[in-house]
Each structure stands twice: as structure tokens, then as C-alpha cells.
Structure 1
Amino acid sequence: MADLQPKTGAEPDDEAIVLTPKPSKAQRIASYLSIVCAGAALISDGYQNNLMTMTNVLFGIEYPTEYTSTMSTRVSNALLVGEIVGQIVIGLTCDYLGRKTAIVTTTLLIVFGGILATAAHGVTITGMFWMLVVCRGIVGFGTGGEYPASSTSASEAANEATLKQRGPIFIMVTNLPLSFGGPLAICVFLIVLSAAGTNHLSTVWRVCFGIGCLLPLTVFYFRWKMATSFLYQKGAIKKRVPYLLVAKFYWRSLIGTCGAWFLYDFVTFPNGVFSATIISSIVPDSSTNLKKTGEWQLLLGAIALPGVFVGALLCNKIGRRNTMMIGFSGYLIFGLIIGCSFDKITKIIPLFVIFYGLMQSFGNLGPGNMLGLLSSESYATAVRGTCYGLSAAVGKAGAAIGTQCFKPIENNLGKKWTFIIAAICGVVGIAVTYFFVPHITGEDLRFEDLRFERFLRENGWTGYIGDEGESTEEVVGGTYEADEKQIAAFETTDSKSD
């Protein structure tokens, strides 16, 4: 093993000697390919997450009697319920069976569920919607599994390829395609609507659902050929995972990532799913002008995108935690502005859409970018998929609850309270982030593996670590004692906590 000297500053760089070995040129190219393949298909997840935004409006026009508020919530929540199950199950799978196995499985599920949803029929219209609920649940299982499987793969590959830029690169291949999926879904909807016309709305939504099947297939071959990361080879635990010790070691980080993700999805998902419904309620003649609602919705999605790039620029400079708190503050500021002035601001549609978009842009800047990054960096490789999947699943539970509560809040308290509650969630999000989320700036992920490894040994765990069942000493080349000294020196820095 090389002479290992972890960087003692708060920001690592590619020139520092770190625990993950320097890859050769060929290995670096393979790592970059793994990053792209792991993250690229997440655009299909973003597309699926936003597919119901305009479809909810379309169904309300085409099936005004059958598509009730209850059915709308049920169809929208089907994806979320599937995602919760998928995130937990695939999170465990990608730790036990490997990242590639999980990624291939999720891709096939998205395609299979999407095909069934496209062909959804029933003896009655209500029966068709129930079939959509089941099919969207299958798609949700796949898209939910993409979160831990793709994100952990992207983070580990980026750790090997370019440590200094791991955070920004991770964001560019995860939250950027997820966020871009929203405007993409609206663009596809508008194009198909223009081609098919308002007299063929059934054709419009079926074509939009069908296109969602094609997106993950574009990189399927490359995902099939992905290489296993060095971190997984050396840090996986395939048997006797000590979950009680995992909870004891990571309880604080889990409260942080799970709690913040719950609050973020509680606000952002229902606001995304029902944003077109909100806009259509203030657009004149929206019931007959579906295209105009879609155009305003596209502008809203476009305004939300720049936050992704700003967050990517800030995450190394000020740290992940501080960036996330700035993002939550946007919910507080713009949620109060829109909520307190709702009756007046909705009379000026461009101003309303701009402020609404800025609120969502801050969400992307902060928790949208940072939650996936923090969940991939805060935990050791052996349980990264499990803890990431659990955090994301709690987040999607928040999304399901938020979606379920959105219509009752809107109907009983008024639309303005959906924004005021978003502001309240922003305050709670800042508090949860400050007290429970670790301050990370991007050190080598291998250090966290060794910290976790040492904790397990000190607490009597005697299992094996490594993809091939190697012991601890074999994994780190017989230099575990030397690495202990390096970790102790590393822990004296402020790279892990304030």
C-alpha cells in the first residue's frame, strides 16, 4: 500500500495523497463513464416524478366526473408509495448484491411499469385509473431504487476520478437530471399536445407515458457494462451486517438526512405535482387553454433550474450543510412572500410564477442538491446504499403525506396556506440541518469507511469487510494500525464537523 497521508485541510484536492489509490488513465476514463451511466438515467426519474403535473390537469378536463380530488391524489401518490418501497429494498440490495445489479433491476422495472401504464385500460374509467395506480407503483419501485443505486455509484466513481470536484460532479449527474426532468416532461407534453390536438387528449397522455419508457433504455447497455468501484470492493459487508451498531454510530446523521429530506419532499413534491393545478386556477380560460397553463408551467420549471448550478458552486466553498441551510431559507422567504400576498400576487401571473420559481430554485440549491450528496458521503460504503435508501424513503414518505394533505389544506385553509406551511417547513429544515447534519466539504470517502470499521472492531464485531470477503487487514494491505494513526490525525481537522 502507498504511503498514505490524508490531507489535513478542509478541502481535499487531486494532488493530495489519499486512501483511495490514484487510478490509471484507463481507470479514470472508466470512472467517468460510470459517473455518467449511474446518473444519466436519473433524468427518467425526474421525468416520471413530474409526469403527473400536466396529466392531472388533462385528466381533470377529459374525465371531469371520474377524476375526483381523491382519485387525483391516489394516482399521484402511487408513484410515491412505490418509491418508498423501492428505496428501502434496493438500498439494501445495492449493499448486498452490488451497485450494478441494483441499477439494472431498477431500469427494467421503470420500463416494464411504464409500458403497462401506457396501455392502461379498464371496463370503466375508474377501472383504468386503478390500473394506472398499480402501474405507477411499479414505476415508482424502479425510480425509487434509482436513488440509492445510481447515487451511491456516482459518488464512489467520482471519489476515484476527481476527489476535489466530487461534490459538483455528483450534483451534475444526479439532481440536475432529476430537476431537468420537470421542464422536459412539460416540453414533451406541449409538443405532443400540439401534434395531437385537444380533441385527442387520451393520445397525448399515453404518448407522454410511453416516452418515459425510452429514456432509461438510452444508457442501459453502458449500465450493464459498469465496473465495480474500488470503494465497494474494499468496503462492502456481505454478511452479518451489524445494524444495531450502524444505528448507534450514525443515529445523528440519520436524523439529519431523514428529517431534512422529509421536510424537503413534504414541500417540493406536492408543489411540483399540483403546481400546474395552482397555475390553471389563476390563468383565465385555463379549462379550455391547456397549452397556456403548460407554457406557464414550463417557465416555472426553467426558473427552478439555476439553483442546481449555484448549489454546485457553493458546496465546496462553504460546505454542504451551510448550502442546505441557505436553500431552506428560500422556502422561508419566498413562502411568506407568496403566502401573505397571495390574493394580490396571483393577479399578476408573471410575478407569481417568478416568485414561485425562485422558491423552487432555492429548494434545488439547498436540500435538492445537498441531501443526495450528504447521504452518499455521510455513511460508510458498507451501509451507504441502506442509509441513503432509508433517508430517501423517509423523504418520499414526507412527499406522500404532503401530497395527501395538499388538497385538504387548499380546500379548507386556502391556497395561500400551502405556501405559508412551506415557509414553516423552511424554518424547521434550517434547525434540523444545523443540529444534526455533519459539516462535510469533500474528504476521501475511504476515511469514513475506516472510521466505521474501527468503531465496529472496538465494539466486538468480527465479520469480514470487502466484496470478496476479505478481512480488515487484507482489505487495507495489512496497514490497519498505520491507518488508525492517519485517521486520528485526520479527525483533528475541521473537515468533518465545525
Structure 2
Amino acid sequence: MARFMRHHKEHEPPIGEIPVPHGPDTGNEHEHYPIPPATDYEKEIFKHLTHPDDSYTPEGVYWADLPLSKRFNFVSTVDKAEVSAEWSSIKSMMKEDFLGPLKWYFRHAVLPGAGLGLEGYVLFSIGNLEPLFKKAWPECWDKKAVCSDNWVASVTYLEVIGIMVGQVFVGIIGDWIGRRWGLIQDALIMFIGLLMLTGSWGVTLEGWVICYAWSLFFYGIGVGGEYPITATSSMENAVMAGKLSTRDDRLHRGRKVTMAFLMQGWGQFFNQVLLIILMLIFNRGQGDPPYSARMAQYIFRISFAIPAIGTLWLCYYRTYRMKAAGKQLLKAKKKANVTGYDVKSLKMTVTNFGGRLVATAGGWFCNDVFFYGNKLFQSQFINVLSDNPSSIMTTWTWNLVNVAVSLVGYYAASMLIDNKMYGRKMMQQVGFFMCFLMFVIPAFNYEFYVSPAGVHAFQAMYFLSSFFNQFGPNSVTFLVAGEVFPTQIRASAHGFSACMGKAGALLASVLYNYIDTQTKFYVVPWFGLAGMLMTYLWLPDTTGLDLKEQERRWQYILQGREQDYHGVAIHPKHLSVWERWMGVGKNYYPDMDMKAKIEDIKGEWQEKEASKNESETGVDDLDDGEEFTDDIHNYFRGAPPAQGGLMIKNKEEQKGSESESDK
């Protein structure tokens, strides 16, 4: 395949014929003016903004432009230095406060992911409680003698449909009214839904099932909204600092989002632990049958009441302690002169990034079929391994082990998702392929693997599928579904992709009612291959790409001058195979982009200068995390260099007086 690198000298336009960035040209032609390239002085004073050392070599070469061996060495050097710096910060924190690292983790992972943790707890509880209901009320939940089979099935269907509604609806709300409103609204809906679940009742058993199902639908709306809102707010760092373009964003953006997402796994873990404890308390200190209706009532109502307390606190926290959420969206709308929902950006996203929507929505759809199908293994090997497979405690104990394995996958994903030599796209493809193998192997030798001779291998494949689902598509889809789209419609795109994912879960839940277990194993693996193929063709790899640069390209698209953008956001590394086939990266000219980038930085500088006089408008302090040195200020004002020479300061130098823990 021909290379798509277009920055070689023989392809560059002559110096003095560089297209000047300007407004839309109604004639669809851009004039060319004889402007010189960036001077050595300009390159030097803007170097820390245009060529940060975590992405560029000292010679100014972008990491993805390096040959493979040099790229590996560069990435390894940067990562080692970053690990060393982080360990130093941890040590400094511990010297000042032994619990300092735990406090940092609480602020930067637990709080941003608290909503996902609570919904993971509740949704996992729904699945865990169903076998208990079948034992306590067999005439309704198992034999369907006094309850309609449709209403019992609707418990799952309404839950999933409610989540799908919330994902789309709150995604739009998050882009329309704002991230903070979406965060508060989700917490309130989930709190009310938990009150409904805790107090659900009926004159008859079927009446209770109906009340329970509709309560789950209402709660599901809040759950669905957590996906786009938590992803976008964590990604934009609005929860913590309101900054977007920093070294930390380039090196650790994926980790920050994944650490929030993995709280879902901790929610599942604590739910399973609590249910086991409640079982021992209310079932005579043991987990074996018989199970009384009175005991089941205590367990399920207490299990819902406890997260209701946490969700009430979440309502308070998001209302009074997260007032900065949504700054980046506010800034983007201000720049585009949009006050409501940005319909123009939505249309242009579909036009320009339609392939990315296929990748994020299709990949999530395939993943949720796998996620739902993971349960196919468990009951089969429990029947072979356990002396008492009818015991709910046996099932819950194996569930707890599986959740622990999944948590290992979550954390492994958070550690490698920002590694430039592995990253998002490779992680998702490998995860899909491994899940495919874990299902296709037992599918064609099913009788052996569910026999005593092969059950341990069957069990190992079960846990491996759990690990690679988290260390792969389940973590990556949550991140990239918002990351590859512009700020103005990020929550909407994420919500739509997540909704398509739940459509996969709904398909699986309906389909599995009509086919036997071995046939399920025949069906499920091919979704792994489909997900891997869609990832390869349509998903770009944004590992190491500054979101600020992606937003910069988006501004060019909005203004109708995409051909004038020559930066790294259209580097072949950061484009999908489909986009490269369509010629999107043909205008990648890093040398030409330098001067244009300085002009764009000047526009940001002017905006910041103007915002100093807008403190009463509510849009002040829209900081991007950029460092404008004295020389840059003087350059834009037409003044001589500060102190008679260059005064280049990076963030660490400017804050040298701060302690390591502050940094």
C-alpha cells in the first residue's frame, strides 16, 4: 500500500506559496500570498506549544513520523521519564501526607466515576437477584404460573430500553444545555429510581413484577445518561480543572477516562460482596436453600437502599462541587457563536466523521453481545465443578471471582491505553480477537469442554474472555466513542454509540431465549470478528494525539477550509484506514503547519486577553492549560523580547517554586 505521508520535500508547495488561513471562500478557491516560513526566533519561542517534548524529538520530528525502531526508543524514553516523575510525585505526596496518593486517587478516579460505580452496583444486582427471585417465588419467576411470561421477560427488556433512551436523550442534553446539568439530572433520576426499586410492591406477585420492571426503566434512563456525561466530562477534565490541552492530556487522557469507567467494576464487586453478606445474615448463616420470601425481601430492598444513600450524596456533590463542569463546551459554543444545540456541527460530523460513527457504534454493538454472552460459560462449568450447583451462594461466589478478574482487565487497560506503541486501536482489536477465540474454541467441541475432562479449560476460557473484554473493547469503546468527535456533539455521539451497544445487549437477551447453549456459542464468536474488522477499517487511533489539535482541525472544517489544515490531526497514524483511502491525510505538511499554528495561537491569545474583561459574563477563565511566556506576549504585541533575549519557560520551570506534590 502506498504511503500516505505527504510532507516530503518533493510534495511540498514552494516557499512563498503557502495558503493563508482565512475565512470561508465563496468561490471555493483560496488565494496564495508570498509569506515566509516561521523564523528561528518564532520556532524557539513557540516550541513548547507547537513541539512539546513528549510528542516531538529535539529536531522537531513528530513521534509518529519516526522509523519504527526510533519511535520505540522515543516512546520508551518519554514513558520512563514520566513514570519516574510520577513516582517522585507519589513519594513527595507521601512525605507530606501518607494517605496523599489515596486522596489523589479518590479525587481523580472515584469521584468522576462515582455515578458509573453506583449504576454498575445496581445493574449487577438486577442480574444477581433474579436467581434468588426464582427460588423464593418459583410460581412467578420460574414456572410463570401466576405471572405473565412477557412481564417477567420485560424486566430485562425495559431495563435495557430505559438505558438506551437515557444514552441518547442525556447525550443530547449534555451538548445542548451543558455537561453539569446532565450530571445533576442523571444523579436525580437514579436516586428517584432507587427509591422506586426499594419500595416497589404490588397487590399480586405480577403487580409487583410490573412495578419492579417500570422502576427499572426509569432508573435505566439515569444509568444510560451516565455513559456520555461521565465520558465527556472526564475526557475534557472539567471535573477536575477545566483544562483540555496539556502534557497530562496527551500522556494520560485515556487513563483518566478509564479510571472513571472502571468504577463500574468496583460497583459490581461491592454489590456481590454485600449480597453474600446479606444472604449469610438473613438465611441462617448459610447460602444453601431453602430460600424464604421474607429473606428475599430483606436482601433485595436493603441492597437497593444502600446505593440510594450514595446517589443522594452524588446529587449534592454534582450540584454544589462541580460548577466548573462544561467549560470546554461553553468555550467551543462561544467560538462557534452557538447558544443552543449545535445542529450544524451534528450535520458536519455525520458528513466528515460518518465512518467513525460506524466504528464506535458498531464496535460497541458487537462488544455488548460478547459482554452478555460471557454468562454462557458460568452455569455450565458450575454444574460440573460444584457439589451443590443449585445453591445461589455458589453462583454468587463464582460471580465474585469473575468480577475480580474483570477488575484486573480494567486496570491493565488503564495502564496501557495511552501507550503509543499499543494504544486504543490495537487494544480493541486484540480484545475482540481473543474473545472470538474464547468462544469459537468451545463452540465446535462443546461436549468435551462441558465434561469433567475439559471443564477446567472451559473455566479458563471463561475468565480469559472476562479479562480481554475489559482489557479491550469494553474499556476502549467507552473512551473513543467521545474522543474521536468534536466537543460540540461529543456527548451526543457517545450516547448514540452507547445506545447501539445496548441494542447488541437487547439482541442477545432476546435471541438467547430461543436457542440452546451450544447454538449460542456458534453465534457469538462472529461478533468478535465483525468488531475487529470495523475497528481496523473505521476507527482512528487517537493515542498520543492532543485533543486541542483535533479541535483545531475541527475549526478549519467548520469554516469551510479543511484543505488549509496541515497538522498532526490528519497524520496517517491518527486516521482510520477508511479515511486514508478517502485521501483525508493528503494535506499533512508539518513544516507548513508551523506558521498557521502560530496564527491560531495568536487567535487564542487575543481571546484570552479579551476574556480578562468579561469576568461578569460567566465565560471568563477559559484556560486551555497553555503557557504563554513573556516573549509570546511581547511577540503578539509587537514588543521586543523580554529582558533583551528569549525567555522560554515550560510549565515546570514556571512553577519551580512549587512542591512536587503540588505539581
Instruction: Identify the TM-score tier after normalising by the shorter chain.
Output: 0.7 to 0.9
Instruction: Choose from 567, 577, 594 the match for 1:489.
Output: 567
Q: Quick check: 58-67 or 450-459, which moved more?
A: 450-459
Residues 346, 204 of structure 1: alpha-carbon distance in 2 compared, 3 angstrom cutoff:
farther
Residues 234, 196 of structure 1: alpha-carbon distance in 2 compared, 3 angstrom cutoff:
same
Cα distance in 1, alignment partners of residues 401 and 130 from structure 2? 18
| Matched-pair contact (CA < 8 Å) for 1:441–1:495 | no
Residues 310, 269 of structure 1: alpha-carbon distance in 2 compared, 3 angstrom cutoff:
same
| Matched-pair contact (CA < 8 Å) for 2:245–2:547 | no
Residues 384, 267 of structure 1: alpha-carbon distance in 2 compared, 3 angstrom cutoff:
same
Instruction: Choose from 388, 396, 400 the match for 2:494.
Output: 388
1:334-375 deviation line (CA, Å, top 9, x unaligned): 112333343333345655433212112111111111001111
1:310-330 deviation line (CA, Å, top 9, x unaligned): 222332221211110011012
Per the TM alignment, residue 83 of structure 1 is displaced from its structure 2 partner at its CA by 0.7
Written as runs of structure 1 = structure 2, the 5 A alignment for 1:64-213 is 64-67=138-141, 68=144, 70-157=150-237, 159=244, 162-163=248-249, 164-174=251-261, 176-197=262-283, 198-199=291-292, 200-213=295-308
Specify the alignment match of 1:55 in structure 2: 129
Per the TM alignment, residue 30 of structure 1 is displaced from its structure 2 partner at its CA by 11
1:452-472 deviation line (CA, Å, top 9, x unaligned): 22212218xxxxxxxxxxxxx
1:375 lines up with 2:481 in the alignment = yes
Residues 75, 154 of structure 1: alpha-carbon distance in 2 compared, 3 angstrom cutoff:
same
Cα distance in 2, alignment partners of residues 149 and 51 from structure 1? 23
Written as runs of structure 1 = structure 2, the 5 A alignment for 1:304-319 is 304-317=406-419, 318-319=422-423
Per the TM alignment, residue 139 of structure 1 is displaced from its structure 2 partner at its CA by 0.8
**Runs (5+) with no aligned partner, structure 1:** 17-28, 460-480
Residues 294, 342 of structure 1: alpha-carbon distance in 2 compared, 3 angstrom cutoff:
farther
Cα distance in 2, alignment partners of residues 323 and 83 from structure 1? 26
Cα distance in 2, alignment partners of residues 307 and 53 from structure 1? 21
Residues 311, 404 of structure 1: alpha-carbon distance in 2 compared, 3 angstrom cutoff:
same
| Matched-pair contact (CA < 8 Å) for 2:171–2:495 | yes
SS at match of 2:513: helix
SS at match of 1:440: coil
Amino acid across the alignment from 1:496: H
Per the TM alignment, residue 291 of structure 1 is displaced from its structure 2 partner at its CA by 1.1
Specify the alignment match of 1:233 in structure 2: 330
Per the TM alignment, residue 77 of structure 1 is displaced from its structure 2 partner at its CA by 2.2
Specify the alignment match of 1:293 in structure 2: 395
Cα distance in 2, alignment partners of residues 139 and 275 from structure 1? 29
Higher helix share: 1
Cα distance in 1, alignment partners of residues 487 and 104 from structure 2? 19
**Runs (5+) with no aligned partner, structure 2:** 1-44, 56-61, 65-74, 83-102, 284-290, 577-663
Specify the alignment match of 2:441 in structure 1: 337
Residues 184, 276 of structure 1: alpha-carbon distance in 2 compared, 3 angstrom cutoff:
farther
| Matched-pair contact (CA < 8 Å) for 1:109–1:141 | yes
Cα distance in 2, alignment partners of residues 31 and 352 from structure 1? 36
Q: Quick check: 342-351 or 300-309, which moved more?
A: 342-351
Specify the alignment match of 1:24 in structure 2: none
Specify the alignment match of 1:261 in structure 2: 364
Q: Quick check: 333-342 or 370-379, which moved more?
A: 333-342
Cα distance in 1, alignment partners of residues 161 and 570 from structure 2? 43
Residues 121, 276 of structure 1: alpha-carbon distance in 2 compared, 3 angstrom cutoff:
farther
1:9 lines up with 2:63 in the alignment = yes
Percent identity over paired residues: 23
SS at match of 1:305: helix
| Matched-pair contact (CA < 8 Å) for 1:53–1:275 | no
Amino acid across the alignment from 2:259: M
Q: Quick check: 363-372 or 68-77, which moved more?
A: 68-77
Specify the alignment match of 2:588 in structure 1: none
Residues 300, 30 of structure 1: alpha-carbon distance in 2 compared, 3 angstrom cutoff:
closer
Amino acid across the alignment from 2:372: F
1:234-267 deviation line (CA, Å, top 9, x unaligned): 2134335213222101101000000000111122
Instruction: Choose from 448, 468, 472 the match for 1:366.
Output: 472
| Matched-pair contact (CA < 8 Å) for 2:540–2:574 | yes
Per the TM alignment, residue 495 of structure 1 is displaced from its structure 2 partner at its CA by 4.3
SS at match of 1:38: coil
| Matched-pair contact (CA < 8 Å) for 2:378–2:462 | no
SS at match of 1:443: coil
Cα distance in 1, alignment partners of residues 575 and 254 from structure 2? 17
Per the TM alignment, residue 193 of structure 1 is displaced from its structure 2 partner at its CA by 0.7
Amino acid across the alignment from 1:366: G
Residues 42, 33 of structure 1: alpha-carbon distance in 2 compared, 3 angstrom cutoff:
same
Specify the alignment match of 2:623 in structure 1: none
Cα distance in 2, alignment partners of residues 344 and 364 from structure 1? 27
Per the TM alignment, residue 116 of structure 1 is displaced from its structure 2 partner at its CA by 0.6
Cα distance in 2, alignment partners of residues 428 and 78 from structure 1? 27
Residues 489, 245 of structure 1: alpha-carbon distance in 2 compared, 3 angstrom cutoff:
closer
Residues 275, 345 of structure 1: alpha-carbon distance in 2 compared, 3 angstrom cutoff:
closer
Specify the alignment match of 1:430 in structure 2: 532
| Matched-pair contact (CA < 8 Å) for 1:299–1:353 | no
Cα distance in 1, alignment partners of residues 105 and 399 from structure 2? 37
Cα distance in 1, alignment partners of residues 266 and 513 from structure 2? 26
Cα distance in 2, alignment partners of residues 400 and 39 from structure 1? 25
| Matched-pair contact (CA < 8 Å) for 1:286–1:292 | yes
**TM, length-normalised to structure 1:** 0.83
Cα distance in 1, alignment partners of residues 325 and 197 from structure 2? 33
| Matched-pair contact (CA < 8 Å) for 1:88–1:393 | yes
Specify the alignment match of 1:251 in structure 2: 354
Per the TM alignment, residue 88 of structure 1 is displaced from its structure 2 partner at its CA by 0.5
| Matched-pair contact (CA < 8 Å) for 1:79–1:137 | yes
Cα distance in 1, alignment partners of residues 508 and 355 from structure 2? 24
**TM, length-normalised to structure 2:** 0.64
Cα distance in 2, alignment partners of residues 32 and 203 from structure 1? 31
Residues 422, 215 of structure 1: alpha-carbon distance in 2 compared, 3 angstrom cutoff:
farther
Instruction: Choose from 312, 318, 327 the match for 2:431.
Output: 327
| Matched-pair contact (CA < 8 Å) for 2:550–2:569 | no
Specify the alignment match of 1:41 in structure 2: 115
Q: Quick check: 357-366 or 488-497, which moved more?
A: 488-497
Residues 340, 52 of structure 1: alpha-carbon distance in 2 compared, 3 angstrom cutoff:
farther
SS at match of 1:407: coil
Per the TM alignment, residue 108 of structure 1 is displaced from its structure 2 partner at its CA by 0.9
Structure number, greater radius of gyration: 2
